[in-house]
Structure 1
Amino acid sequence: MTNRILPFITLVFLSTLFSIVIGDDGVAISEQYPLVVSTWPFKEAVRAAWRAVDGNHSAVDAVVEGCSACEELRCDGTVGPGGSPDENGETTIDALIMNGVTMEVGAVAAMRFVKDGIRAAKLVMQHTKHTLLVGEKASAFAIAMGLPGPDNLSSADSIRKWSTWKENHCQPNFWKDVVPSDSCGPYHAKARIDVKEGGCSTRYLMGVAEPRSSLVGPHNHDTISMAVIDKRGHVAVGTSTNGATYKIPGRVGDGPIAGSSAYAVTDSGACVATGDGDIMMRFLPCYQVVESMRLGMEPRLAAKDAISRIARKFPDFLGAVVAINKNGVHAGACHGWTFEYSVRSPATDDVEVFTVLP
């Protein structure tokens, strides 16, 4: 009797862990999917992505729907049009989408006059052999492909924010080692001096940069970064942001950089990130996370390892990553702030928000 029961119990246990059905096209579909994960408590964006993927849309299309919802809602004032003015008071858009099955990427950066960042990024992936288009040429491409524009991406809020900053002598800002440092410019490089070391002449800039923690925070330097695993286990990621508030015009952060703000490989998993993009893009933390998981590291350790690599060099940086393996297991790690991320899965009736302590 015991010999008959044990195999049955084992079968039930395994079927609970790996619940699989076969779709109409003969492809195995895991009932642990679909899965939507997003940086921050952007619940409406996650719900939009969930409606798409739960309705049998692809992971790529679900990412577009989720990020687009955040652009329309202007999540945290740092996604989509109408937020994060640069030094000239203008809002520009950065966005990225990546298909973890094909490894195709589409991205736009410093895009003017077009509101739909994530849709523009998808058009780059869909209709070109390129990965990244920038500036006004990205805008012209997006409009030629059918997106609305040209539009003014500023809003009453962004103009008011920019005016207040100008009245405060453009402080704080992202300049360093310039004169004058306490005004709105025009700026000039400080004088350089030569320091002899071992018979060699080394050039040093004078001055001390202001701590970046005074320039970067959840509400002035943020991104929606979203990962979706669809019902067939296919993975895609996407991002959208209007970048750092009061950035130097032309600045591009890590939002449209594959491997930094997001990365996906269907055979391994995905990663989404947010924070100080100028620092984080130097380390490609999401590529690091996905590669670590490919080598067998669990998501929690992969996320922590990627953040620790940055913190060792830049102990004042603010940032966070979420690792999601191919089985849908997820975990976050952060540095410098308390971070939250959102998840919707078949196990929940609505979006669940997870809090990660630094």
Structure 2
Amino acid sequence: MKRRDFIKNTSLTGLGFAVGNTLVNCDEDITEAQKTQNHKAIRDLYGIPLVVATWHVENATAKAMAVLHAGGSALDAVEQGCRVEEANAKGQTVGKGGLPDRDGNVTLDASIMDKDGNCGSVVYLQNITHAVSVARKVMEDTPHVMLAGEGAKQFALSKGFKPENLLTEASKIAWEQWKVKAQYKPIINIENHDTIGMLAIDKNGDISGACTTSGLAYKMGGRVGDSPIIGSGLFIDNDIGGCVATGLGEEVVKTVGSFLVVELMRQGKTPQQACEEAIHRIVNKPNSNYKNFQVGYVAVNKKGETGCYAIHQYFSITKYQADKNEQIQSEFYNRT
């Protein structure tokens, strides 16, 4: 049904309609119950609330949606959703059980951003499973945006986070096997999913996002990717939409990818068009080596429309919208 027909045919009493998260009413006599009904009708039209995330993470999106259905904010939803994967030791790319750097250290990067543009991140965090929650504490409890390394760890401990060894036996064995040849060469999609980036829109129409990762397996000690860098791995503009990135972080950083996607949506592009243009910016750079690495974007706009695109095949997203929690294979650039 077209939006115009929907408004004409449904009981939007008093000509009430939603713009962003504001209910506008032309009739001063409209009751609170009618306002609530109108607001719900608009949310239903746009499929809100919703959650969308990188890769195959139905448990994470289900947790986030449960938070939204319980009346939680988009910020609460993305934090709780990402924590599911951080605690999943079998994933080997996020939180506990993440594959280590070449020295055997599991180091985590994470960021979070709310509807008001507030943000927090941690880089090179060790021995703390829930990096995304530490990032939220940085945002809410400090005057800073980013804390790194030992400083981030000490801050986490001061906030009650418990230290633990994040290197599981499975990840240790994989690292010891890698050391036999000790070759560092990222392989496209080899880890199935290397980051979880998540976006949510709550019942008020507000958008938040989060991103968390253990980074590239067997990276150089101290390496930081795009995930904790606001504008690269994650960006939110509550008037427009949000975006998260996954893949080779160095290439995302070079184009400030997530900020670019949101700005393209501001210019009028759909989330799908914006993701495609952002990938084209990477592959069309002079001397681009794009055939040897993967980057993927997922975006959502204020209407609840989503889009995703990647350089290579097999990037997927998980979307929970209109009571359906499903994995969707992304379209991709490289067809050769």
TM-score (ref. length: structure 2) = 0.85
Q: Could you list the runs of 5+ residues in structure 2 that have no partner in the other structure?
A: 24-31
Q: Give, in whole Å, the separation in 2 of the partners of 1:14 and 1:293.
A: 31
Q: What is the alpha-carbon distance in structure 2 between the residues aligned to residue 19 and residue 342 of structure 1?
A: 30
Identity among equivalent pairs (%): 34
Letter in 2 for 1:11: K
What residue in structure 1 maps to residue 26 of structure 2? none
> Residues 167 and 300 from structure 1, CA distance in 2 versus in 1: closer, same or farther, beyond 3 angstroms?
same
Report the counterpart of residue 191 of structure 1 in structure 2.
none
Matches within 5 A, 1:54-65: 54-65=69-80
Residue identity in the other structure for 1:231 = K
Contact 2:189 2:315 in 1 (8 A): no
- Which AA in structure 2 matches 1:114? I
**d(CA) in 2 for partners of 1:322, 1:164:** 33
Does 2:118 match 1:144? no
Tell me the equivalent position of 2:328: 354
56, 75, 91: which one aligns with 1:41: 56
The residue number in structure 1 matching 2:307 is 331
Displacement of 1:19 in angstroms is 8.0
Q: Provide the rounded CA distance (Å) in 2 between the counterparts of 1:261 and 1:14.
A: 41
Deviating above 4 A after TM superposition, structure 1's stretches of 4 or more consecutive aligned residues are 7-10, 18-24, 26-29
Q: Cα RMSD over matched residues? A: 2.3
Contact 2:88 2:96 in 1 (8 A): no
**Aligned counterparts of 1:240 and 1:10: Cα–Cα separation in 2:** 40
Distance (whole Å) between structure 2 residues aligned to residue 217 and residue 300 of structure 1? 21
Aligned AA for 1:251? R
| Selected match of 1:72 from 70, 87, 90 | 87
SS at 2:209 equivalent: strand
Residue equivalent to 1:98: 113
Residues 269 and 246 from structure 1, CA distance in 2 versus in 1: closer, same or farther, beyond 3 angstroms?
A: same
Q: CA deviation at 1:73?
A: 1.5
Contact 1:77/1:220, CA 8 A, preserved across alignment: no
Helix, strand or coil at the partner of 2:284: helix
Using the TM superposition, give the Cα deviation of residue 166 of structure 1 relative to its aligned residue in structure 2, in angstroms: 1.1
* Aligned pairs for 1:161-310 within 5 A: 161-168=174-181, 170-171=182-183, 173=184, 214-219=186-191, 222-310=194-282
**Distance change in 2, residues 1:300/1:75 (3 Å):** farther
Partner of 2:100: 85
Mapped to 2, the partners of 1:93 and 1:157 lie a distance apart of: 18
Q: Would the aligned equivalents of 1:216 and 1:244 in 2 still touch at CA under 8 Å?
A: no
In structure 1, the residue matched to 2:135 is 121
Assess if the C-alpha contact under 8 Å between 1:269 and 1:324 holds in 2.
Answer: yes
Residues 327 and 14 (structure 1), Cα distance of their counterparts in 2 relative to 1, 3 Å cut: farther
1:213-253 deviations in Å (ceiling 9; x for gaps): x4453407710000000000110000110010000000011
Secondary structure of 1:219's aligned partner: coil
1:311 maps onto 2:298 in alignment: no
Q: In 2 relative to 1, CA 9–223 (structure 1 residues): closer, same or farther, beyond 3 Å?
A: closer
Task: Give CA deviations for 1:114-161 in whole Å, capped at 9, x if unaligned.
Answer: 111111000000101111101011000011011112x21111011101
CA 1:267/1:218 → structure 2, altered by over 3 Å: closer, same or farther? farther
Count of aligned pairs between the two proteins? 304
Distance change (3 Å), C-alpha of 1:226 and 1:167: same
> Could you give the per-residue CA deviations for residues 49-104 of structure 1, whole angstroms, max 9, x where no partner exists?
000011110111111100001111146320112121111111011110001x2111
Q: 1:216 to 1:134 in 2, by over 3 A?
A: farther
Larger Cα-atom Rg: 1
Letter in 1 for 2:213: T
Specify the SS of the correspondent of 2:111: strand
Checking the alignment, whether the CA contact within 8 Å between 1:42 and 1:75 is kept in structure 2 is no
- In 2, Cα distance between equivalents of 1:324 and 1:311: 22
1-structure distance, mates of 2:90, 2:242? 22
